[in-house]
Amino acid sequence: LGRQLNTALNSFSKASVVDEKTLDALLKEISKALLESDINVKLVGNLRNHVKTRALKEIKEANASTNHQKSKQIVHKAIFDQLVALVDPQEDPYKPTKGKTNIIMAVGLQGAGKTTSCTKLAVHYQKKGFKVALVCADTFRAGAFDQLKQNATKAKIPFYGSYTETDPVAISVAGVQQFKKSKFDVIIVDTSGRHKQEEDLFEEMVMISQAVKPQMTVLVMDGAMGQAAESQASAFKQSSDFGAIIVTKMDGHAKGGGAISAVAATQTPIIFIGTGENLHDIDTFRPRPFVQQLLGMGDMQGLMEQVQDVAMSDPDKQKELAKKFEQGSLSIRDWSEQIKNVTKLGPISKIAGMIPGLNADMIGQGGDDEASKRIKRMLFITDSMTVKEMDSDGSIFLRKGTDGKYVGMSKRALRVARGSGTSVREVEELLVQYTMMKSGILNMMKGQAGGAGGMKPG
């Protein structure tokens, strides 16, 4: 989508004058790109009108009809703001409080990712220090309890379910009561789905909901859901009145447009996105970075949060990193570990915009394959470094002249290049990337109140 929008914006800037006609042509291209991302037809129409009205007005006010740079900026900003407005209903979702019983109920179609997301949610809250338990109220799908049991055991989370009881309401009530008695803070109830929005599914949902009275109901929705997302979300909203959405499978080819339409239709915020099959593959959703990513704009903040989340799964690692950030002593080893972590987050084309120096433009033609190769080569280089080199800040690879200034690459760089089957030029490039990321991170940490405070679960 980002690439398509950029192409559209580029051909727009070639026109000699910016007027209604050129803007219309641009908006037509942009609408096409949005529709192809599965954003609802009506929403795209509205967006188009809003952007047009606002952009024409601002271009006129700024006297920018012949200033392409300026008018491009105006149009880009208008599109950005409109997309953010779509995914941001400005409603704060329910947040669990410690020392209270917080019951969360997950609803959604079969295969949407409810059971997986329930476990991910449980792990997420457990990491934040909540006492969390899982209840399996899915008596519809064979093996549902075994699946939850397996997930919960892996994550070391207490669970409740039954092989013999067939009434999901009875199970929910019993499970919730048991965990309430043992003073659990967060009790997550996983329900069954159906292949379609069937009447009996909605009935079951309403009955469970009335019995356990959840503080928050979450709609779990497959990120690959297309134009049907809007009606599905509306139907679920009517019967279950969910207060938050989790969009799953955003690690694959999902375009996420369906989810955007679901938010707009129900005015309900997305709280998390699922980015993989593992228990830790869950990201806090934030509207602006999401749209930035959608439009192929870099997102340092988002990158850092994700890297922190990965680091967070290992508390010792987290403390160590926090200290390094504070001291500004992030080594090449730390950096290469971050790169490895980031590449776990999804296909390169999605995350490239988040790695400084590795933006979407650079992978433009080569696509994912080309970018993966680049990253692999960078990691070959770090793999060929000695322990001392890995733990350094990179200056070890530079040669100093008599006046103490750096004049080029040292013999070490040549050795590492040979050892990794790359070139000195590539080693140099790697150092540039590392330095850029390091200074980017440092600036960010400085920008955040309390410096390394950003590393705390927040």
Binding site for ligand GDP (CB under 6 A): 108, 110-116, 193, 220, 248-249, 251-252, 274-277, 281
Q: Which of Mg ion, ligand GDP, none sits in contact with 46, Cβ below 5 to 8 A by type?
A: none
Q: Whole-number minimum distance, CB 281 to ligand GDP, in Å?
A: 6
| Closest separation in Å from C-beta 278 to ligand GDP | 9
Strand 216-222, strand 244-248: pairing: parallel
Taking CB within 5 to 8 Å according to partner kind, which of ligand GDP, Mg ion, none is near residue 89?
A: none
Give CA separation, 42 vs 27, 38, 397, in Å. 15, 11, 57
Given ligand GDP, Mg ion, none, residue 168, with its beta carbon under 5 to 8 Å by kind, binds: none
d(CA 402, CA 412): 19
Residue closest to ligand GDP, measured at CB = 274
Q: How far is the CB of 248 from Mg ion (least distance, A)?
A: 12
Quick check: 290 and 1 in contact, CB under 8 A?
no
Picked from Mg ion, ligand GDP, none, the partner binding residue 116 (CB below 5 to 8 A depending on kind) is ligand GDP
Which residue number, 93 or 347, has a Cβ lying nearer to ligand GDP?
347
Chosen from ligand GDP, Mg ion, none, partner binding at 347 (C-beta under 5 to 8 Å by type):
none
Closest CB 140 distance from ligand GDP, rounded Å: 10
Which residue's Cβ lies closest to Mg ion? 115
Contact (Cβ atoms closer than 8 angstroms) between residue 322 and residue 452: yes
Report the candidate in 263, 206, 207, 203 with the shortest Cα–Cα distance to residue 232. Answer: 263
DSSP for residue 246: E
CB of 341 to Mg ion, least distance (A): 28
Strands of 270-274's sheet, edge to edge?
159-160, 132-137, 186-191, 102-107, 216-222, 244-248, 270-274, 282-284
Q: Angle formed by the axes of helices 300-312 and 332-343, to 10°?
A: 90
Q: Which is nearer to Mg ion, 115 or 268 (CB)?
A: 115
Token pair of 211, please?
């019995």
Shortest distance in whole angstroms from residue 220 CB to ligand GDP? 6
CB of 272 or CB of 397, closer to ligand GDP: 272
Residues contributing to the site for Mg ion (CB under 5 A): 114-115
Q: Which is nearer to Mg ion, 136 or 352 (CB)?
A: 136
Helix (H, G, I), strand (E, B) or coil at 228: coil
Cβ atoms 147, 182 nearer than 8 A: no
